[in-house]
Structures are given as C-alpha cells and as structure tokens.
Structure 1
Amino acid sequence: MITLTVNQVRHTVDVDPSTPLLYVLRNQLQLNGAKFGCGLGQCGACTVIVGDEPVFSCLLPVAACGERAVRTIEGLGSLEHPGPLQRAFIEQQAAQCGYCIAGMVMRAQALLERVSAPTDEQIRQHLQPNLCRCGTHMRIVAAIRQAASDASAQRAAAGVQS
C-alpha cells in the first residue's frame, strides 16, 4: 500500500511501489489531465508537480513521491472555475489539439511559483522539456506572461509587494 497526497487529498492505493505515478493518477485516482505521450520523459505531456518541482510522471515511481505533495492540472481549477494560469491559456487560445497543455500548464505553474515575473527567455527555457507539436508556443508564452501580469496586478491592488 502506498499513501500519497494528490491535490490536497490523501489517498492510499494498492499498487506496486515501482508503478509510474502517471498510471496511479490515471488508473487508480481517475485524474486524467496528465497524458501518456511517450513513456520516456521526452514529451512532457505527463508533467505534474511533486513537491515544488515539475516532473515527468511517466518516469517517477509512485514510491519516490514519499511525503511530497503531488499536484495535477485538476488541482489548479475546474471547467467552471479555471485557475488564473488556466484562464490565461484559455484567453490566449494557447491550446490547439490540447494534448500537451496540461503538462505545459503544470510546468508553467512551477515556474510562476518561483519567479513572479519571468522573462520570455526564462519562460522558453523552463518549458523546453515539454513539446507542443501543434506549434502554439507563442500563444503559450503569451498566456504565461498574461498570468504573471494578472498576478502582479492583483498583488499591487492588494498592496502586496512581489
């Protein structure tokens, strides 16, 4: 039995400890946002945040999560109430086929949690491990810039310094 916290909910699953986190998320927990793309850690469609790091969940054995919290795209918002980064991706029409988007959003979320106002170069460098075959990279970068700008405006309105 493996116990892990996903999107602030504690779960106990009966799986082999070497089972990739992706399979536990999708098959046991019915969280289908993270996608199986390549199974080799080369595309990023399966990216989730473990602790505060974006990881390829297709490569990470579930036992390696330990006590670190796992966050998936489902933990950022919902269809009815998308989170700020999800909303920016929608407004910038950053998804075409949509297969890579959950992984892109999760990798971008990890960046924005570390760097409140990343440069375009920082965004591009941070997203480099994730692939988008549709070529919406410019809209993805624009969405991340928008989310950072929106968060900065909210902090300013609340009188909080970044």
Structure 2
Amino acid sequence: MKNIFSKEDSNDFINRINQLNYDSKAVWGKMSVDQMLAHCNVTYEMVYDDIHPKPNGFIKFILKVLVKSSVVNDNPYPRNSKTAQQFLIKGNRNFETEKTRLIGYINRTQELGENYFEGKESHSFGRLTAKEWNNMFAKHLDHHLSQFGV
C-alpha cells in the first residue's frame, strides 16, 4: 500500500494524475475521466470542506459496522463496486478544475502528515488511525487511476 503521507508516494499519485487528459478513457466502469476526478475529490471534501451532510447516528453506526472495514483495510477495491450516494457524480465536470483540486488535496494531506490524521474523526466512520486514513485515501486513488490505465 502506498503511503499518502510520504512525499515520494504522493508525488507518484500526482504523476499518475498528470498522465490523464480530458479524453482519457476508462478501462472499466461508466465514469468519464472528469467525473472520476470529481468522485475522488469527494473523499477529501469530507475532510476539508463542509459541503456534504453527515450521516445521522443510525446510518453512521451501520456504516461503521458494515462498510468501514472494507474501506480502511489493505485489500484493493473490486472493479465496479457500489459507491455511496454522495460519491455519485452526475453530468460533466471541468477536467482541469477537478484535476487541480485533487492534486491540491493530495499535497495538503501529505503536508499535514500522519500525526494530523491519527485519531481524526471521519465523516462516516468515527475516529480512524493514520493507517486507516492512509488506506482509505491511497487505495481509492489507486483504484480509480488504475481504472483509467495510469
């Protein structure tokens, strides 16, 4: 598993993102490249921006019990797996804007580092370790960059 808190690994993700262009095609799945970038930004929006409603207590409990382990473990996501409603991107997005936002989020996360994320509250899963945050960020990025062949 790549370490999103490592400058080298973060730069590797950024280099892969920079290989994309506005007409890159997915190897699998239905998203366009601009939608994929916007989709990847949602994870970071939930950390840095207050634009997504937090789940109520019951839903958060269900997410912690049924979903959390598959999101924060070391196992890669399977192709075409289901995603939460707030991660569904409808319509076209500006490729350059979404790409710039994602690179900015990756850099910000790397600069804040592991200590910032150790025990930090997740939007959906409660407190996570830095390792769980890393797994969530890194495997999501790897999954979707692989989806687009980079």
More strand by share: 1
In the superposition, the TM-score normalised over structure 2's length comes to: 0.28
Q: Which structure has the bigger radius of gyration?
A: 1
- The structure with the largest helix share of the pair is 2
Q: Which has the higher contact order (CA 8 A, sep 6+)?
A: 2
